[in-house]
Amino acid sequence: MSLNRILLTGKNGQVGFELQRALAPLGEVVAVGTADCDLADADAVRALVQRVRPQLIVNPAAYTAVDKAESDIDLAHAVNAIAPGVLGEEAAKLGAAVIHFSTDYVYEGNKDGRYVETDATEPCSVYGRTKLEGERALQAATPDHVVFRTSWVVGAHGNNFAKTMLRLAADREELSVVADQFGAPTSAALIADVTTHVARQLLREGKNGFPFGTYHLAADGETSWHAYAQFVIGEAIRMGQPLQASPQSVLPIPASAYPTPAVRPQNSRLDTTRLRQAFGLHLPHWQDGVRHILQQIL
């Protein structure tokens, strides 16, 4: 059997960085970043796929500056909405499959319980709208796709909420953090490992009978940004990190007290039953993933 070739975008992002490690045993991974291919340039994306000729395209690359997207609409649309469709079209020509990553921001965020994949999508930001358009463009281009909707991604590599809290807690005795938005911090390593599990099944067993479609991929459990910040600071102190702030000095505030250009979903909780049943997976608690990241960066 010939060696599998996997095209991986966004190699320098939180998830892309971890995917380089996780996918490596499955075949030749051709990993590209913005410097190698501008995903806002549809012709460049087509040329890349035609040159690499992969069996599988894994696309974590995205325009993720949520607030900036409100004014940078054209670029967000090119990367998040158009590029996934182009990748799908080129994959279909090669008989390749696509694994693509989306977000909890495709939902309005007002549901009481956890969102399931069949719930109505109603994004309330440019970022959310362009990510939803990207899902639909990929779905229209090829049936051979998996879309993973993730939430609150955190990794040892790159910038994220946990690192921001540690930086602020080193300088300030008191922090104010939003307490009325809920979700599950999901480690980039977990996302990469689950993706690799799914990719291995696809490459081994082929496309016939494979459960393509849209899945929620998030860690188990749930928390608020406020309680998440308390956990990160408490764990860092326990690991011997000298911080000015303590978990008790993290003050809860409503989202309305911290206005941002883009509206965030109040409820980002994702039901992962479909993913776990389809691929026989156990998803660990969010605290396990965050603890592991803190061990790496502290």
Q: Which residues are catalytic?
A: 127
Q: What is the maximum span of the chain, computed from C-alpha positions, in angstroms?
A: 60
User: How far apart are alpha carbons 263 and 255 in whole angstroms?
Assistant: 10
Measured CA to CA, the distance from residue 235 to residue 203 in angstroms comes to 39
Q: Is residue 244 a contact partner of residue 134, using CB atoms and an 8 Å limit? A: no
Residue 245: name the closest of 255, 231, 258 by CA: 231
Q: Token pair of 180, please?
A: 């009325």
> Per-residue b/e over 179-194, b at no fewer than 16 CB within 10 Å?
bebbbbbbbbbbbbbb
Q: Which residues contact 92 (CB under 8 A, 6 or more apart)?
A: 141, 142, 144
